[in-house]
Amino acid sequence: MEGATLSKPLILPAFQAEEVHCTGRAFSSSLSAREKKLVCVTSGNSCLDSHIVKELLANGYLVRVTIQNPVDFEDIKELMKDEEINQLESVVVAKMQDLESLCDAFRGCHAIFHTSSFIDPHGVSGYSEHMAFLETEVARNVIKACSGAAYMRRCIFTSSLLASIWSDDNLDRTIDEGCWSNEEFCRENKLWLALGKTTAEKAAWGKSKELKVKLVTVCPGLLMAPSFPYAHKDTSLPYLKGGSVMLQRGILATGDVNKVADAHVRVYEAMDDGAFGRYLCFDKVVERLDEGIQLENELKRHGLRPGSVVSAEETREVHSKLCNSKLAKLLLEGSQGKSCRQ
């Protein structure tokens, strides 16, 4: 089965997870699906995606998940409980570089959540310059498929804080949603994940304007999870390339994966009420060297400590230049609105 050439997506119904069924046009945009707000989450076998799926299910959404290969379903079973998997509308094998495959997967959906084009839960492949190029090509594909198949043409696109922080001329500037990383700076310093997220997000914005897809982007810091460091080793290692510079500049920020997932859902829900543009997403800025050392120990890697440092410097605070007030305001307004409804 894995070696077969698939012209249409493979459907893995959640209630028959151990069986594999091939179909033609997999889904129809039925009225009942629209009423339940069917949404699709790409690459559901990653740590962040699985948490977004859980958050959507907990809020009563009908959720479809895509994976790149049938074997990736094993990762989903490790990341989610059986009862959560059984709540899914379906799991669809859809190649991220195959536009027709994505269109079939997105058909009838109210919105698309796209977090990453490359998922490596076991953290063995790293992130290369070539991946940065492909990440950008897939971003265009996702927006094209969203335009052609998702009936509401909405996309919640996960970028990264890395797409805003890397520049050689912003040392004293507050970094917010208006800031973009310098692509040439990223290339010169081999910051491939930062480059990939920057170019992919820009491509998504360009294509969404062209095709009239309503787009919002969430730009999280380094993801943190209870099962650290293995739950998202694939993103933590490439994210921290240049980590000592981030720490010194006060731009090294982390985000609890549960809070980041919740932010994705809240931003989506606020799109009807004016949510727009980019949202920087983090809940902690590493501002002291001892905090950086603690992060190193949790990651079981080193490189944040800038050479030999005396103990007095370990508690020296670095002034943060990051600002996520736009997201904080949206979340506050959302919680107030929810309290009023209750």
Q: Judge whether 303 lies within some domain.
A: no
Active site residue 212: no
- 72 part of a folded domain: yes
- Residue 322 maps to a domain: no
24-47 average pLDDT score: 64
Point out the least confidently predicted range of 83-92, 147-156, 234-243.
234-243
Q: Which residue's structure tokens are 């010169």?
A: 188
Is 331 inside a domain boundary?
A: no
User: Which residue among the candidates 54, 144, 197, 326 is catalytic per the annotation?
Assistant: 197
* Structural domains of the chain, count: 1
**Which residues form the domain of 92?**
10-235+252-285
Is 213 a domain residue?
yes
Task: Specify the CATH number for the domain of residue 95.
Answer: 3.40.50.720
In this structure, the strands spanning 21-22 and 10-12 are antiparallel
Residue 219 lies in a domain: yes
- Residues 6 or more apart whose CB falls under 8 angstroms from that of 309 comprise 289
Q: What is the mean pLDDT of the segment spanning 25-35?
A: 41
Q: What is the pTM of this model?
A: 0.85
In-domain check, residue 243: no
Residue 175 lies in a domain: yes
218: closest CA among 48, 45, 39?
48
CA distances from 272 to 214, 267, 276, 319 (A): 10, 10, 10, 36
Each residue's pLDDT tens digit, 268-299: 999 999 999 999 999 999 988 888 888 877 77
What does the mean pLDDT of the chain come to? 81
Which residues is 111 bridged to in the sheet? 39
Measured CA to CA in angstroms, residue 321 lies from 118, 170, 306 at distances of 30, 10, 19
User: 97-152, pLDDT tens digit by residue?
Assistant: 999 999 999 999 999 999 877 655 455 456 788 889 999 999 999 999 999 886 78
